[in-house]
Amino acid sequence: MANISPKTTPIYQTSVFTFEDLNALELYFEQPNQQYMYARYNNPNSDELAEEVNKLEGGGGAVVTSSGMSAILVGVLTYCQAGDHILCAEEIYGGSAALLSQELTRLGMEVTYVPGESIYKLDKYVQPNTKLLLVETMSNPLLQVLDVQRLAEETKRQSIKLMIDNTFATPILTRPLSLGADLVIHSVTKYLSGHSDVTAGVVVCKAEDIERAKQITRTYGLNLSPFESWLAARGLKTLKLRMRQHSANGLAVANFLNQHPKVKQVWYPGLEQHPQHELATEQGNGMYSGMLSFQISDELETVNKFMQSLQHIPFAPSLAGVSTSISHPLRTSHRSLSREQQQKLGITLGVIRLSIGIEDAEEIIADLEQALAQI
């Protein structure tokens, strides 16, 4: 039989790999990257996904994890331990805030949230035990765009690490490591896999940090299964094409919503009135991603009526799939924040987050238009 050379990596759906004898086992421990032993440590499918994301981000190494949340945990633990102090942008995904404030504080870490107006000058927030600043390239849900290069300069001045959640931007728009960040994480569940059928995360870091990140993933059991790794690697192949379409559709929908009389405000970096529009244009290579938020009346009946009137756009509390969906930050992603935090950030009942898919923009706009007409 001729040698089989598959174009696509097969799914290695096994939890363990075999050895011929003790000599082979010792060779594994001497050269662990030459073969596989146990799927929790690594497997061909998760390695493939990690390598491909690492190439896109221009990193020194990557490890894939069981979810975006576990990627955040790995990223933090790469640099921090009990007794350390962590800084975090005030406007951040609610799950990230919950992990920091509700869980890592129980492990002996201290967390301080930095308001947006202070994010580039950290003098009054940095303490002797501060190790890390966590931010998002584009914030969830109000799309504040942060200047990664300025943040990198400030964190280096303060001798702390800069960790970037690049989920909303993806490396197609922005590569934070090339701008000076120390570590990048993604919820692979979102744009990288892209089809709403995978739960996964990835950590991309510098070469000197990758072994520590891998050790945490192995020891805590945060690894990703072979099948989900295979699915995510499959989705990743169309990332560049998808992000172009997400971004083009996002700009078209943002312009439509921006002129609609029933829409009070639109948050989208591609609009000229966005406070970081010029930065977003430069840092995002002329693309602005497919995420936007907009505000209608802050009344429960109005919000429910709008959601019920949508014919093709579902209410789905996640984002970045190929199909357009809406979410409600106040009641989902940012539910764990205190009422005071929600109000300070401007996350009200009428704020709706829109994840723009890759359908024809006219189809998306038509559904939004008829639903807005019902309120």
Tell me the percentage of the chain whose pLDDT exceeds 70. Answer: 99
Instruction: Work out the mean pLDDT of the chain and round it to a whole number.
Output: 95
Using CA atoms in the order 83, 88, 92, 94, what is the torsion angle rounded to 10 degrees?
20
CB atoms under 10 Å from CB of 270, counted, come to 24
Q: Contact 57/204 with Cβ under 8 angstroms? A: yes
- Judge contact between 254 and 269, C-beta under 8 A: no
**Alpha helical stretches, state H, 110-225:** 148-157, 170-173, 210-220
* Cα–Cα distance measured from residue 80 to residue 75, given in angstroms and rounded to the nearest whole number: 9
Higher per-residue confidence, 2 vs 263: 263
Measure the CA–CA gap between 267 and 50, rounded to whole angstroms: 32
DSSP 86: E
Q: Of 218, 233, 312, 287, give the one whose Cα is nearest residue 7.
A: 233
Mean pLDDT of 19-42: 86
User: Given a cut of 50, is residue 335 above it in pLDDT?
Assistant: yes
- Strand 183-187 and strand 161-165: the pairing is parallel
User: What number is the average pLDDT over the span 178-200?
Assistant: 98
How much is the average pLDDT of 283-288? 97
206 is catalytic: no
> What tens digit of pLDDT does each residue of 79-89 get?
999 999 999 99
List the single range of 62-71, 81-90, 345-354 with lowest mean pLDDT: 345-354
Structure tokens at 226: 């072979």
* Bridge partners (DSSP) listed for residue 38: 16
**DSSP-based three-state secondary structure for 163:** strand
**Side chain identity at residue 68, one-letter code:** G
Give the number of other CB atoms < 10 A from CB of residue 211: 13
Q: Is the pLDDT of residue 3 over 80?
A: no
Active site annotation includes 131: no
Q: Tell me how far the alpha carbon of residue 163 is from its chain's centroid.
A: 12
Q: Residue 33 pLDDT more than 90?
A: no
Backbone angles phi, psi at 203, to 5 degrees: -120, 125
Residues listed for the chain:
375
Catalytic residue among 12, 36, 79, 93: 93
Residue spans per domain, the chain: 22-236, 239-372
Selection from 149, 150, 106, 104 nearest residue 131 by Cα:
104
Instruction: Determine whether domain 239-372 maps to CATH 1.20.120.530.
Output: no
Please give the average per-residue pLDDT across 325-335, as a whole number. 87
The answer to whether 13 and 227 have CB atoms below 8 angstroms apart is yes
How much is the pTM?
0.94
pLDDT digits (tens, 9 = 90+) for 126-143: 999 999 999 999 999 999
Catalytic residue among 190, 214, 242, 353: 190
214 among known catalytic residues: no
Cis peptide before 176 (omega within 30 of 0): no
**Secondary structure percentages of the chain, helix, strand, coil, to 5:** 40, 15, 45
Query: Which residue from 277, 241, 232, 238 is spatially nearest to 258, judged by alpha carbons?
Result: 277
Is residue 167 scored above 60 in pLDDT?
A: yes
Task: Write down the architecture of domain 22-236 according to CATH.
Answer: 3-Layer(aba) Sandwich (3.40)
The mean pLDDT value for 191-203 works out to 98
For residue 201, the cross-strand partners are 65, 187
* pLDDT of 2 higher than 60: no
> Of these residues, 147, 165, 182, 209, which one is catalytic?
165
pLDDT tens per residue, range 258-280: 999 999 999 999 999 999 999 99
- In this prediction, residue 1 carries a pLDDT of 45
Q: Is 335 a catalytic residue?
A: no
pLDDT score, position 309: 98
Instruction: Say which of 28, 40, 150, 367 is annotated catalytic.
Output: 40
